[in-house]
């Protein structure tokens, strides 16, 4: 009886494992050279995230999930390359080609360096020190925006590529002290230990959907940081905006305050075209 039960359990285990589906491929550049540590996320065509991973030393990747419907979409990104989102109709993807992205500053050409990325459980982790090295990064916000797979819009919004919405957390928690992005702009880049990317938030985060989690280094002392910002815009009228923030932290607690003042006027114009008919 025990032998029969054991055989049944083994067959059931093999059956469950056989249902898992695997997607394989390789990430290369325009010269067919391997792109190491590229970030690869897999989602359905209606933007439901399934799983994610990073490419190995040969640029190869393997994505495994219980169910991967065909066709599906891959979101592939790496620092120094344009993000691509190919739609695939086969589990054997083959080569995915990334185009090099170059930033030109005057007569100097600067090519981004890839940070160290690795998969830890349900998240992709970017090492902050590798992101900071070799580039001008002044605050925690800058660290996050340079992570492969993170999109930065107008220097005022962070999101994961291919997602409808993204929640930004600090140390795995929702920031309740005002704008989390403004807070990250006041923190020195050296305070960031790592940046975690999750296409599906873990239950302990108490949020749903995609997450960018900025993990700070352990604070062992008292620190006071702040930021002052001023802006001017002329669009028919003069617009002024002043803002300031102050952050005081100790090993046990922290205090954050922010003040914004704006004096603005605007002009809007609308043009209408109508056609009226009069009946008999």
Give the pLDDT mean for 43-70.
90
Residue ranges, CATH 2.170.130.10, the chain: 115-217
DSSP for 204-252, written as a single string: GG---SEEEEEEEPPP-S-EEEEEEEEEEEEESEEEEEEEEEEEEE-SS
Is the pLDDT at 254 greater than 60? The verdict is yes
pLDDT band of 248, cuts 50, 70, 90: confident
Asked if the model's pLDDT at residue 19 lies above 70, the reply is no
Q: Is 257 helix (H, G, I), strand (E, B) or coil?
A: strand
pLDDT on residue 280:
53
**How many CB atoms are located within 10 Å of the residue 56 CB?**
15
Does the predicted TM-score (pTM) go above 0.85? no
Residue 102 CB contacts under 8 Å (≥ 6 apart), including other chains: 109, 110, 111
pLDDT-derived band at 268, boundaries 50, 70, 90: confident
- pLDDT score of 110: 46
CATH superfamily of 23-105: Carboxypeptidase-like, regulatory domain (2.60.40.1120)
Q: What is the average pLDDT score of the chain? A: 82
Phi-psi group of 94: left, alpha or beta (phi > 0 → left; psi -120 to 50 → alpha; rest → beta): left
> Which pLDDT value is given to residue 98?
94
To the nearest whole percent, how much of the chain has pLDDT over 70? Answer: 85
What pLDDT sits at residue 89? 95
Torsion over CA of 260, 252, 131 and 156, rounded to 10 degrees?
-20
Query: Tell me: the pLDDT tens digits for 178-230?
Result: 688 888 887 888 889 999 999 888 888 999 889 999 999 887 678 787 777 78
How many angstroms separate the CA atoms of 233 and 236, rounded? 9
Neighbours of 219 (CB within 10 A): 13
pLDDT above 90 (res 263): no
60 backbone dihedrals φ, ψ, rounded to 5°: -85, 155
Which residue in 134, 139, 126 sits closest to 227, CA to CA?
Answer: 139
- The answer to whether residue 59 scores a pLDDT higher than 90 is yes
CATH class of 115-217: mainly beta
d(CA 57, CA 216): 28
Per residue in 67-105, pLDDT (tens digit) is 899 999 999 988 788 889 999 999 999 999 999 876 544
CATH 2.60.40.1120 domain position(s) in the chain: 23-105
């Amino acid at each position: 009886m025990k032998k029969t039960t054991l055989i049944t359990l083994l067959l059931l285990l093999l059956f469950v494992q056989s249902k898992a589906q695997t997607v394989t491929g390789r990430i290369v550049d325009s010269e067919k050279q391997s792109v190491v540590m590229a970030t690869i996320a897999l989602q359905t065509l209606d933007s439901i995230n399934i799983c994610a991973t990073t490419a190995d030393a040969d640029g190869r990747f393997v994505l495994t999930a219980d169910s991967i419907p065909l066709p599906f979409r891959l979101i592939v990104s790496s620092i120094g390359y344009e993000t691509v989102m190919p739609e695939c109709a086969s589990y054997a993807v083959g080569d995915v080609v990334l185009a090099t992205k170059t930033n030109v500053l005057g007569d100097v050409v600067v090519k981004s360096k890839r940070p160290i990325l690795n998969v830890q459980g349900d998240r992709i982790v970017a090492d902050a020190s590798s992101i900071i090295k070799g580039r001008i990064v002044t605050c925690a916000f800058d660290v996050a925006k340079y992570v492969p797979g993170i999109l930065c819009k107008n220097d005022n919004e962070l999101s994961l590529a291919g997602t409808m919405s993204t929640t930004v957390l600090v140390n795995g928690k929702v920031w309740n002290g005002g704008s989390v992005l403004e807070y990250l702009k006041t923190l020195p880049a050296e305070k960031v230990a790592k940046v975690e990317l999750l296409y599906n938030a873990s239950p302990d985060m108490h949020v749903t959907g995609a997450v960018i989690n900025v993990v700070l280094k352990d604070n062992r002392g008292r620190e006071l940081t702040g930021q002052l910002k001023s802006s001017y815009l002329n669009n028919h009228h003069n617009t002024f905006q002043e803002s300031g923030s102050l952050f005081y932290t100790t090993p046990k607690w922290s205090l954050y305050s922010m003040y914004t003042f704006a004096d603005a006027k605007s002009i809007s114009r609308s043009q209408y075209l109508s056609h009226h008919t009069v009946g008999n």
